[in-house]
């Protein structure tokens, strides 16, 4: 028996309700690590939503990506509270360890590096978010260890 495409399973899960489009897109992106055009076309057809509307939603929200992302997404907060606690040093170390700039993905598709202006966890700064998990008081040395552990498949800390 053929397995249903993840995006179609998500559409079915939410009963094809347009009010659940964001959840459907999140589930689709969780599966592929981005929103592939083919998946968007499947959602468009299944839900009767024009592709222009889907692209409008997918490009409006920063949480969605139309470009392939790595298995692990590392986000460094660059807000004022994090900045004064050396988030730039943390970012510099992440860039050095990964060999990529913010907005890029490693060639092996293992890591994507991003920056944000503020994650609202100022008391924990500098904050790094890895695959949705917030890590506080990150130093450049800790950032290096985190990346090394992820590269070795051991987890974040």
pLDDT digits (tens, 9 = 90+) for 93-129: 999 999 999 999 999 999 999 999 998 999 999 999 9
- Residue 1, in any domain of the structure: no
Of 48, 49, 51, nearest to 66 (Cα)? Answer: 51
Structural domain contains residue 67: no
pTM of the model: 0.75
Q: Are residues 118 and 53 in the same domain?
A: no
- What is the percent of the chain where pLDDT is above 90? 83
Helix, coil or strand: residue 24: helix
pLDDT > 90? residue 21: yes
Shared-domain flag, residues 30 and 88: no
Average pLDDT on 26-37 reads 93
Q: What is the pLDDT of residue 140?
A: 98
Q: How confident is the model at residue 154 (pLDDT cuts 50, 70, 90)?
A: low
> What's residue 39's pLDDT?
97
Looking at the fold, whether 48 and 94 belong to one and the same domain comes out as: no
8 A C-beta contact, residue 77 and residue 119: yes
What average pLDDT is seen over the chain? Answer: 93
Predicted pLDDT of residue 157: 56
Using the predicted structure, report yes or no on whether residue 28 has a pLDDT greater than 80: yes
Domain that holds residue 90: 72-151
How many structural domains are present in the chain?
Answer: 2
Inter-CA distances, 136 with 79, 82, 121, 131, Å: 13, 10, 8, 14
141 and 83 together in one domain: yes
């Amino acid at each position: 028996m053929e397995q249903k495409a993840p995006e179609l399973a998500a559409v079915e899960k939410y009963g094809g309700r347009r009010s659940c489009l964001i959840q459907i897109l999140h589930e689709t992106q969780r599966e592929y690590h981005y929103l592939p055009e083919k998946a968007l076309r499947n959602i468009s057809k299944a839900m009767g939503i024009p592709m222009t509307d889907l692209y409008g939603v997918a490009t409006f929200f920063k949480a969605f990506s139309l470009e392939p992302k790595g298995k692990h997404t590392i986000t460094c907060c660059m807000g004022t509270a994090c900045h004064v606690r050396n988030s730039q040093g943390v970012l510099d170390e992440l860039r050095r360890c990964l060999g990529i700039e913010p907005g890029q993905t490693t060639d092996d598709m293992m890591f994507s590096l991003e920056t944000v202006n503020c994650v609202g966890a100022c008391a924990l700064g500098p904050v790094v978010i890895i695959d949705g998990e917030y890590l506080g008081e990150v130093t450049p040395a800790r950032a290096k260890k985190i990346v090394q552990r992820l590269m070795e498949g051991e987890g974040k800390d």
